[in-house]
Every structure is written in structure tokens, then in C-alpha cells.
Structure 1
Amino acid sequence: METSQPILSVVVPMYDEEDVLPIFFARMRPLLDGLGVSYEVLVVDDGSRDATAALLTEATRQWRQLRLVRLLRNSGHQAALSAGFRRARGEYLVTIDADLQDPPEVIADLLSAARDKDVDVVYGVRSDRSSDTWAKRTTARMYYRLMCRLVGKDIPFDAGDFRLVSRRVVDAVNALPEDGRVFRLVIPWLGFPSAEVSYVRAERAAGVTKYNVSKMLRLAFDSVTAFSAAPLRLATWLGLLGGLLSVVFVIGALVTKLTGQSIPGWTSTVLAVAVIGAIQLLCLGLLGEYVARLFQSSQKRPQFLVGYDSLEDPGHHSYAEVTEPRDPEHR
């Protein structure tokens, strides 16, 4: 592994990706060798349970630009990206997933756009997601529309975690004290000059996705609670609505009683209790999300712990890493 600073760092978070690794190596290495710039491929093994780490360790002996960083435990996709941001050395940094749904060939276009347009961020924007399921496309559209309304119009629509950033952006992100950051929201929020490169999203090259529905929902909750107080305001409005409904029920009950039309029964009582109870539980759940973030922040637990970095002495283990709380999203 070269110790001099490369021009390009390609950060790839991986978790149980042994099936896709042969295809990943076959496509990524000749592509990067042909760019004509010095580079490193920084693979962050997020506590894989299969042969991913062993295959990567063997590959580092044959591919000198390949660098393996292993986390001591599974910490989540965003935490793995944070580890890559902390350890990458390149003037430019590209983040890409190992499943090859985001074509590595687009990296050359990202680098060219950054240099030609003199921008600090280049987003890979999916122009065609026909390879994804209907449910995945629908939930993705809902997510980006919600983020645009809550966070702002600067959020690029249909841009995931496939992007290029300059060293200025890397340093700015690493300096943030934020807990459990969501990169697809944090980077646009910084406001650096940006551009976009469109591409067609492909099918997964091999293996199965590790990003199930529960993890996508967790990402959505983290995105909303990290960047907006709108749910708290929603809880306030729902509380007011519940109060108004209570007044209506009381007035209706009094009118019925005074006119002598009251009929013994439980329907109205059950209806009132159900409506008010549902609103109260929803408000408590929204408040609980914010309290949980405050609790995790107060614990000051590291977001991730690095157990091995192939750039360093193979016998060296670094356990003192960032001082951010653990990423609430687990894979």
C-alpha cells in the first residue's frame, strides 16, 4: 500500500459481501488503473460475518492500492462511511456501495465534472431506477419528497450515497460534532458548490441486499429527527386537535343529556377514548425519538471502533477513534 497522499480515495462500506467481491475486483481495478491518477480503494468492513474480511485481506497482497479498514463490530452503513471519511487520504473522495448498482464507470465522470466545473461536490443522480422493485422506487420517491419539504430544496432528488467530494468537504464533515449523521443530508446542507452526473441504476451484481425495510425506515426517522423539528410541531398540532375533539364530544354529550335523548351505550365513549388515546400515543412516540437522540448524545459513545487498518502495521489495532455516539442505524 502506498503511503503518499493519493489524488482519489474510493470509500466502499461492506457487510457480508463475499459473493460480489470477485465481480467488484474485476470491474473496479482496471477502471481505476485507467484513470491516470494515483488512488486508494478504502474498503470499510462493517463487522462482516462471512468470508468478506478474509477475501479482502488476501486481495490487499495482490492489489497495492487496496486498503482494508475493519470495524470491531457492525455499526451501520452511515458509521462505516464516517470511518471512511476519517481515514481517507485523497484530494477527492468517492463513496460507492459494493453491490455495483451504482456503476463504478461513472467515477471517471464524477472526477471530470469536479475538475471541469471547479466544484466541491458531484452527486451521482439516478435517472433510471427500473432495476429496483416498485416498492423500493415508491418509498424512495416518498423519502426524497419528504426531505425536500423538511430540509430544503438543496437536497438532490434521487441521489443516494454515490458522490464525489473534495478534501475541503471531507474536512468540514469530519469537523462536525453531529451525532449519527446522514450523509445524503449533511453534505447538501454544508452548501459547497456542486454539480450532478446522471446514470442508470443497475441490478445488484451478486448476493442479496442487507438494507431491508426496517433499516430504510430507521434511516428515514434519523433523517427527519436529525434535520427538522417538524415532528415536534406536528405533535403540538395533534394535541390541539385532540383538545378540540374533546370539546366537541363534551358539547355533544351535554346537548344529548339536556334534550333527554341520551341513550345508555358505550360507542361514543369508546370512540372518544380511541381518538384521544391514539393522538397521545403518537405524540409520545415522536417525543421519544428526540429524547432517544439526546440520550445517545449524552452517552458520548464512539460511533465506531477501528480494529485494523492495512495501511498501518498489521499488528497494530487502533481502538481510539471518533467521539461520536453510536449510529442508531444497524445493518
Structure 2
Amino acid sequence: MDTLYLVVPCYNEEEVLMETSKRLIVKVSDLIKKETISEKSKIVFVDDGSKDKTWQIIESLHKENGLISGIKLSRNRGHQNALLAGLMTAKEHADMVISLDADLQDDIDAIDKFIEEYYKGNDVVYGVRSSRETDTFFKRNTALGFYKFMTALGVDIVNNHADYRLMSKRALEGLASYREINLFLRGIVPLIGYKSSVVTYERAERFAGESKYPLKKMLAFAFDGITSFSIKPIRLITSLGFTIFVLSLFTLAYSLIAKFTGNTVSGWTSIVSSIWLLGGIQLLALGIIGEYIGKIYTEVKDRPRYIIDKFIN
């Protein structure tokens, strides 16, 4: 029997943490009883610098039940870094690790299928949503558009997959060799390349509390994913610049012809429109280029992605 660690990133999750731990304890205890996993298996909650009583709850849960472990980061580092901290810590103790959110939207009954796929020889098992009926119209269509756009840019990404996945110890060791500061695990994990499979599940409504990914954070996360894994936006700027250059040659030829034929009346609308169009394109191009330069800046500094304050195991 192999050892399983469940890694659960938490940020201000005091409203849902008791219920989440209760359900996960039942699930892990049942798997141990069935001799599917080792009795050394654990549930690891990662406190990502929460401002509420999340860490105090984790400590009390650890004292009450030996299945519960906790990692406290020194400060808030964001979901992806908190998740990575849990994965890298669990790697030293477990044969397989499953990451899931604390809000109980991920179907924990799918864990059984994850483990089945692991024992079939899969190093990575992706949890994929079977539908998006629980999402709003806007979120559903923007999410689908994001996955299609990422695929079009050449990024190897699993559609409708968030961060609910199983990874073997070998896969985690492969993940550890990726040193990006700007983390987008949904794009990094498929690059590892080991044998993988998919488990579909129904995503539920959030049990309690508020989403930690409002629209602003979702857009920032999507933009990070695009600029971290594809240089096509830069190439699109080059193509756009070339196209505008060719059009400008035609415009220049037209202007010269108009001058020599005596038809030199210029249109105010066309002048203003062209100025605004070119100005907007230039600012957009500078913004995209600046985003890439900013990422280079943060990468070359090579600062730690997280610092662990406490680890109770």
C-alpha cells in the first residue's frame, strides 16, 4: 500500500475548514480501512498567510486527529505558490499526492478513481469537470474561451482542469526541476510528460465563504498563464506591425498620387482615426512587451517562491 497525502491550500477559509476536514478525514479513514492506502497517509492544509483563524483551526485539528497536518507560510504568496509549497513538502513523505481546494467544490469521491488510475501506472491523473452548469453564463464562456485561446497559442493544457489532480512521487520530482517564479501549474504539469489519465467529476457549489478568485484575479491569472507559456503575443505584434507598415506604403502612394493630380483635400476623420488607431496599437504593444520584460525581471532575481514558517506533521 502506498502513502497518500492530500494537499489543500487555504486562504481565509475559517468558514469551511471544519466541514472540509470532517469530510476528508472520513474519506481517508475509509481508504485506509479498505487497505487502498497506507495508514501513514495525511491531510495537509497549507495556510497561505490567512488573516482569519485558519491557522488556529488547523493547529486544533492536528491536535485532535493524527491524520491532519499543517503548513504555515511566512506570508501570503498566492494560491499557486501555496499549492507548490504543499506539493514539495508532501513529496518527501508520500508516494502519491492529490491537490484539491478547501471550498468543497471538488468532488472528494473522485479520489477513489484517482487512486485506481495511479495503481494502473499513471503518474499524473487530472480531475476534469464533466460540465459547467453550476457556473454563470459569463464565467462558463470566458473559461471555455481561455482554454481554446491557450491551445491556439500552442500551450499544452488540459481542458476544464483546474488544480484537482494526483501526482506520483516521480512526477513531483519532475515538477521540482521547474524553477519558474511565475507559476502556472496547469501548464507546467503536462510538460513533465509521464503517463497520465483523466477522471471526470461534477463540480459542486462552494460550501461556504467567498470565492478567492474574483474577476480581477481570474483575468490576472489567465494573463499570467498566457505570457508564461507562449511568445505568440510578441509575434502577433510583429505581424501587426508589418501589416500596418505595408498599409502605410499604400497610403503614402495614394497621398503622392493625390498630390500630383491636384486632389489634396485631406479628411479630418481619417487623420484622427489613424492617429488614435496607431496610438492604441503602440500602447498595447508596449504593454505586452512590458509584461514579458517584467517576467524576465522577476525570474532573474530568483527569489524564493515561498518560505515555510511552520510544519506540523
Call closer, same or farther: CA 1:264–1:131 in 2, change over 3 Å: closer
Q: Paired residue for 2:263?
A: 261
Structure 2 CA distance for partners of 1:151 and 1:62, relative to 1, 3 Å: farther
Matched position secondary structure for 1:234: helix
Q: Which runs of 5+ in 2 are unaligned?
A: none
1:34 aligns with 30
**Partner letter of residue 110 of structure 2?**
V
- Provide the C-alpha distance between the structure 1 equivalents of 2:278 and 2:243, rounded to a whole number of angstroms: 9
Q: Is 1:103 aligned with 2:99?
A: no
Mapped to 2, the partners of 1:227 and 1:156 lie a distance apart of: 14
SS at match of 1:125: strand
TM-score w.r.t. the length of structure 1 is 0.88
Correspondence for 1:173: 175
Q: Secondary structure at the match of 1:34?
A: helix
Stretch deviating more after TM superposition (218-227 or 256-265): 256-265
1:76 maps to 2:72: no
In structure 1, the residue matched to 2:228 is: 226
Contact 2:182 2:299 in 1 (8 A): no
CA distance in 2, matches of 1:245, 1:49: 55
Aligned length: 305
The DSSP-based 3-state class of the residue aligned with 2:94 is coil
The answer to whether the 8 A contact 1:160-1:184 is kept is: yes
**TM-score of the two chains, using structure 2 as the length reference:** 0.93
Deviation at 1:6, TM superposition (A): 7.0
Partner-residue secondary structure (3-state), 1:163: strand
CA RMSD of the aligned region, Å? Answer: 1.7
Amino acid at match of 1:29: I
Counterpart residue number, 1:183: 185
Cα offset, 1:254, TM superposition: 2.5
- The residue that corresponds to 1:321 in the other structure is none
Deviates more, 1:262-271 or 1:86-95: 262-271
- Per-residue CA distance 1:56-114 (angstroms, 9 max, x = gap): 11111112121111111111111011101221021000000001111112111101121
Query: CA separation in 2, counterparts of 1:245 and 1:158?
Result: 40
Alignment of 1:297 onto 2:299: yes
Deviations 1:150-191 (A, max 9, x none): 235x53211110010100001111122223221111111111
Contact 2:16 2:102 in 1 (8 A): yes
Q: What do residues 90-140 of structure 1 show as CA deviations (whole Å, max 9, x unaligned)?
A: 10000000011111121111011211x211011111002211111111111
Between the aligned partners of 1:250 and 1:55, the Cα distance in structure 2 is 70
Correspondent of 2:143 among 130, 140, 145: 140
**Which residue number corresponds to residue 19 of structure 1?**
15
Question: Secondary structure of the equivalent of 2:159?
Answer: coil
Specify which of 191, 203, 206 is matched with residue 205 of structure 2. 203
The answer to whether the 8 Å contact 2:25/2:67 transfers is no
SS at match of 2:130: strand
